[in-house]
Chain A
Amino acid sequence: MARKPKSKAQVQASPSTASIPPASTHVTPAPTSAPSFPFPYTSYASLVGIHTSLLTFTLLFLPRTSLFLPSNPLIEGLRFSPNLSFAAGFEGGQTEVALGALGKTGWISLGVVVLQVWWAGKVRGWARLSGGGDRNRSDDSDLLNAYLSTFVTCLIIYVSLVLFGAPLTSHITHTTLLSLTLSFLTTFPPAYTLGFPPFSFFNATPKNGVQSGREVLNRFTWVRLFVEFMPKTPLERTLTYPFIGTFIGCWLGAIPMGLDWERDWLVWPIPPLYTSIMGYIIGSLSAVVINSLEYLAIVGRVQEQSDEGKVGS
């Protein structure tokens, strides 16, 4: 949580630029040569670079940390340890190895949580810049809501993992850590940016019978982004693409669990954990690519229009 003040600072430092209207379809020809954008494409692109690099670091190097772990031989024992399989992962064939997988998962989860909290602050800042988000909400209640909704999602994901075939009675910590990682990857940034997700799909009409306009809008936004997968703005892509990537990655990661290759990484929940983070990174990067293309297109159009303007005058 050490990152929190920093993200807040970022948010507070930006109100001066927040008044620029959203760039949607029509951009008025700006008299200045450098067009300004409500969505800070350049800093966004570089920050995604940092974010994905840090995630890669979390994935590859953080689990090798020997800090706080009972003893080093345990970590070393992870490599080339025989008699491991899919099933060993599920049934805890060797306590030593199971603990190793748990250690790895724990480190990765911790890294992901810290990174996502920081990243969510950034995204929220951009949302405020482009006029999105609800200005009336306070940062603290937003943060609380984000944690709350991530917790709820974590429960939902846990149940889903078990439904998909994760062990029912054993490996509860493993599965919990995986669902925690998944919920922080997928839910925390959108919840912090867009507000509390509409979990009440069942009753569209709340108790008092009237649904506020904001609630309906909120539901439509969440459904459009995370059910229909149709983001429209750069910010929405930043939220939706990694979401899709994470879940596809997690799904694909379950497939090698059936193999009997007896590798140290072939234990629950390492493969889906790795592939979901890789999916997140791929999603994040493809959002950058599409957003950059859009940025270039807008810049080109603005340039063209300003050129025309010059010729015309």
Chain B
Amino acid sequence: MLSKGFLLLLWVFGLHLAGIYLFTRGFLLTRLSLLNTSSCTSSPFSCSLPPTHNRAVVLIIDALRFDFISPDPPSPPDPFHHNVLTLPRDLTKRFPERSWLFNAHADPPTTTLQRIKGLTTGSLPTFVDMGSNFGGVEITEDSLVKQLTAHGKKIAFMGDDTWTTVFPSSFQHNLTFPYDSFNVEDLHTVDNGVIEHLFPTLSSSSWDVIIGHFLGVDHTGHRLGPSNPTMKSKLLQMNDVLTKVVESLDDDTLLVVLGDHGMDRKGDHGGDGELETSCAVWVYSKGVDLNVGRKREEGEVLSQKKLFPGTTEPHRSIQQIDLVPTLSLLLGLPIPFNNLGTIIPELFSRPSSSSSGELEYARALQINAEQIKTYLDTYRASSSGSDLDGVWDEVVRRWDDVVSRERKDGVESLATFTRFALEECRALWAQFNIIKMGLGLALILLGLLGSWGLYVRLGVEKEKGDLKEKAEHWDWEFWVGDVLKVCLKGAGLGVVAGLLVYLVLVVITKVMDGKTMDAFDFIIFFTPFSSSLSILWTYPPPIPTRTSLTLTTVLTSTLAILPLILHTLSFFSNSFTVWEDHIVLFLLISTIVPSLLTGLRAPTSRLRTRIIGFSLLFALCVRLMAISTVCREEQQPFCHVTFFASSSLPSPPPLILLLCIPTSLVLPWVMKKAFLGTSKSDRGVAGLVLPYLLSGVLLAGNGYWVLEYLESGEVFGSGWEEVLRSARTLVARCAIGGLVAGGFGMWWLVPTCLQIETSTTTPGSTANGATPENKQVTVLGFGNAFGSPYFIFWTLWFGLVFVVTQLTGQVVLALAALALLSYLEVVDGVRDVRNIEEAVSSATPSSLLEGGVSGSGTNRIRFSEVVPLALLAIHTFHTTGHQHTIPSIQWKTAFILTSTLTYPLSPLLVMLNSFGPIFLMPLSLPLLALWNFAPLPHPSSSSLARKESVRASLGVMLYFGVCLVGSAGGVAWLRRHLMVWKIFAPRFMSAAAGLVVVDLGVLVGYGVGVGRVVGRVGEMFDGWRG
């Protein structure tokens, strides 16, 4: 039967999962990117139209908001950015058949990279575009650029270098002039560079399409805001450039000027605000009239108008991605495969080239709609097809409707269909669901409050009103049983409440759209919500009374949570998030200072030596670990990669090659002799695992990666790959197989490190001649009877992570293990000092005797003891070659056990490599309760050991939970931040995954490790009286 403590931790885990699920569903939207390419098979114009223009100039003015070029800007107009860039509206007024102004809606996230993707593929951007290019930025989907190059068009490019990273090989080499885009301070370099190369290129004839990307307006907005004289001069400069471009255009060249996104009142962008998503689009055809002949019928769907904030006159509005099919057809190209935009009807309102009596746009729309239907069909048939489950029936119904109609009156239904497809896909992929994000966050917060309450309550000796209060020792597991009953009742209530709220809000009153929150979401929210609420209601966390609120207690508790507070707050700043590895080191070293001070004032010299020595060893290990780093991109150029030999060469540094094998030889020996040996608890399973099994596994781990280095570095020259590859696969399989079968098997059978010696003494014959034998039993390793076997359990997992970590990381892991052991000794020493001080300072020394529990209660967990291990987990994560970014994932590790990608083994190995360090430290937390904790008196000691293990586990869950709230709050709050997709969102994903890993770690630690060790050791001492 599962123990009560385990069920309690499981409940907290459930709370976390539900919160993470809701928040993530609201925030991280995923889309499968299909790699199909549109091509016209039957005839050149079966999926396109005859071109109206042979060449095009596309000029992107970053962050050009619609009102910057609008003929009716908001009133009162701003002197610095309204009525300044006037060329587009003047030309539109003069040539209504050849020039158009649109207020285009850009899909959030309104950042340049995402917008370039949207503008070229016609699709909706999501954070994780799952597909073969996971982790890379290159656009592999079908796009306008791809179609242009496929049809032999030469593209010239100048400006923002984001384009050259997403299309590394599409532009003409001699006509490509990229400029660095991230130096926001610099307002002019990019623009001047574009201008310098634009006009020579324009006058030459070696191009078919020119793409120019100006950044000055955007940078001026970020740095100085839109209402600034610099903005005016910048826009005037743009006006001059455009005037000159228009002058030098050929008649068969199409000019498109657009902003990739808008900007908010402060000049920033990234989110989904009206000002950020409203960008300008100006299309100008110098020679060809696109809008001739009879006027087309005004349909509602295709002539939408929108009011810009602050204006009175609604203006023609389009979707920004509508440019993709429009440009494709005007240039006679197929529409990119993933496009969801609809052609702009104004540009096709002329007599059809193929059939008379029709307007060209009917044909264009048909091509457009067919392309979208093909896309939806392909997506539906793909592995992510279930995304469309909810809307598929409607898609089919509408398409049938389109097909059944005659072409003439079918135009409107075609347009309705394409717009419907866009809206549905947008709802699926491209909108933050604020409600879900908020509810998820609320759930995590409430769960934290609940588990904090339980953590505090479990720390109290007796539960008031408990029937067993009078018992010598409070039966905490009985109490937890009550708590779980309350939980269960609350959860049941929550299911009903969730369904009811769903019925009321969605089905009956229709306040909320079913797509925002479906019945499942309501249940996912209300079940944990109501169960944690009922916990808080029934067992409110004890509120500190005025007498307990002394200066000292307030100060110590503030100091205990200060690192957590600072760590959490740092997630609201991009630079602190970028430099988190340094911050964690700083906080981690800071947490050892109180112990060091305790050591300095310790009453005996043995304690002083022990605490100060181990504190310094801990600090030294931690600092040495910090030398190893793979730098984040944003840390450049101020960071040197030390994890690898250099930033371009993914092989270990020479020093590490020398150090790794000695490390593996020394580490098990140090564990056995220096740490377990002092309490004589290096017998039993420890005597087998540490010197033989663990050493072997660590050496095999070294061997694997050395072989990998030899192979990838071609040290022996070519021809050896096959041999080396199979050799290292064999080594890794032996190591992991031996560990799993041998190590865990052995530990499960004998989870003790005790040696029991029985010596018989005959104290001479008594009067009646009988010789009663006095048996004297010596138990070696008694003092650390719980801690030692649990530590052996930990080393087995340590070995597993060690094998899948690269060489530099292996040395770091060894240091981390040393730091952990030192820290356990420090904590033990500090507790000794505290006990002595309490005993001395208490007015009645007998109080120690009365509270028999507090005498043996030296393993009472304090939150300040948990914090360093939580920080050590993140520190180990950073120093084993990881950062909170997707590019830092070590894909190599997928091939440790097999030479080809194998499911589910390969992803599991990558996860073990990435989150192994974060898994190990929470797994070690029960050691805080078990280390040097004697197992007698029997039942109460075991019970206490289990209780404090639960508290330690809850403590580390709290730490990572609060961190998750920080990063989730940061990412929700800063979802309009420029850097949200580069810095905050990856950190949030890492925090969410980290919390799940931590939860798994404590569940394995408590459920398997503590359960087995305490149970077995308890059995051994059953019936003994200490």
Contact = CB atoms under 8 A, between A and B. Distances in A.
Interface string B578-620: 1100110110011000000101110001001100110000011
Contact of B605 (A165, A205, A251, A262): A205
Nearest to A82: B185
A163 B579 contact: no
B576 interface: yes
Contact of A260 (B575, B613, B619, B623): B575
A259 B569 CA distance: 13
Interface string B614-647: 0000011011001100000001011110000000
Contacts of A87: 579, 635, 637-639
A68 interface: no
Nearest to B634: A260
B573 interface: yes
Interface string B551-592: 000000000000000100010011110110011011001100
Contact of A88 (B613, B619, B638): B638
Contacts of B578: 260
A165 to B, nearest CB: 5
Given A163-B620, A202-B609, A227-B597, A86 B590 contact: no
A165 B626 contact: yes
A165 B638 contact: no
Contacts of A162: 623
Interface in A248-290: 251, 254-255, 258-260, 262
Contacts of A228: 601
Nearest to A254: B586
B575 A165 contact: no
B586 A164 contact: yes
Interface string B892-914: 00000000000000000000000
A228 B579 CA distance: 33
Contacts of B638: 85-88, 90-91, 93
Nearest to B592: A163
Contacts of A172: none
A91 B629 CA distance: 15
Contact of A164 (B576, B589, B599, B608): B589
A50 interface: no
Given A87-B639, A202-B612, A165 B582 contact: yes
Contacts of A9: none
A202 B573 contact: no
A258 B612 contact: no
A87 B639 CA distance: 8
A223 interface: yes
Given A164-B589, A201-B608, A223 B582 contact: no
B601 A258 contact: no
Given A86-B575, A88-B638, A258 B619 contact: no
A88 B583 CA distance: 16
Interface in A223-263: 223, 227-228, 251, 254-255, 258-260, 262
Given A165-B585, A228-B601, A259-B576, A251 B590 contact: yes
A87 B566 CA distance: 20
Given A85-B638, A93-B638, A259-B573, A163 B619 contact: yes
Interface in A205-220: 205
B576 A258 contact: yes
Contacts of B579: 86-87, 258
Given A93-B638, A258-B575, A202 B583 contact: no
A144 interface: no
Contact of A203 (B586, B601, B605, B627): B605
A90 B639 CA distance: 9
A142 to B, nearest CB: 24
Interface residues of A, number: 28
Contacts of B575: 85-86, 258-260
B863 to A, nearest CB: 20
Interface in A167-218: 168, 201-205
A163 B623 contact: yes
A162 B620 CA distance: 10
Interface in A5-47: none
B170 to A, nearest CB: 32
A296 to B, nearest CB: 23
A259 B576 CA distance: 6
A163 B589 contact: yes
Contacts of B590: 164, 251
Nearest to B609: A202
Contacts of B622: 163
Nearest to B605: A204
A202 B637 CA distance: 43
A211 B173 CA distance: 82
Contacts of B599: 201
Contacts of B586: 164-165, 254
Interface string B345-377: 000000000000000000000000000000000
A227 B596 CA distance: 9
A87 to B, nearest CB: 3
A82 B187 CA distance: 14
B903 to A, nearest CB: 40
Contact of A202 (B185, B601, B608, B639): B608
A115 B526 CA distance: 65
Interface string B211-230: 00000000000000000000
A255 B627 CA distance: 20
B623 A204 contact: no
Nearest to A91: B638
B551 to A, nearest CB: 13
A223 B639 contact: no
A262 B575 CA distance: 11
Listed residue (A85, A86, A90, A262) with the most chain B CB atoms within 10 angstroms of its CB: A86
B555 to A, nearest CB: 11
Contacts of A202: 605, 608-609, 612-613
A266 to B, nearest CB: 10
Interface string B711-727: 00000000000000000
A66 B682 CA distance: 66
Contacts of B574: 260
Contacts of B605: 202-205
A168 B627 contact: yes
Contacts of A255: 566
A91 B631 CA distance: 13
Interface in B624-676: 626-627, 635, 637-640
Contacts of B635: 87
Contacts of B609: 202
B157 to A, nearest CB: 27
Contact of A258 (B185, B583, B589): B583
A85 B635 CA distance: 10
A108 to B, nearest CB: 23
B627 A223 contact: no
B754 to A, nearest CB: 33
A262 B183 CA distance: 13
A258 B574 CA distance: 10
A164 B601 CA distance: 22
Among B576, B585, B639, B640, residue most surrounded by chain A Cβ atoms (within 10 Å): B576
Nearest to A90: B638
Contacts of B639: 87, 91
A259 B627 CA distance: 21
A123 B627 CA distance: 42
- Residue from A93, A205, A258 having most chain B Cβ neighbours under 10 A: A258
Interface string B671-693: 00000000000000000000000
Given A164-B589, A202-B609, 17 more contacts: A86-B575, A87-B635, A91-B638, A91-B640, A163-B589, A163-B619, A163-B620, A164-B590, A165-B585, A165-B586, A165-B626, A202-B605, A202-B608, A227-B600, A259-B575, A260-B575, A262-B185
6 contacts: A86-B575, A163-B619, A201-B608, A228-B601, A254-B586, A259-B576
Q: Which 6 A-B pairs have the closest CB atoms?
A: A87-B638, A260-B575, A204-B605, A91-B638, A258-B579, A227-B600
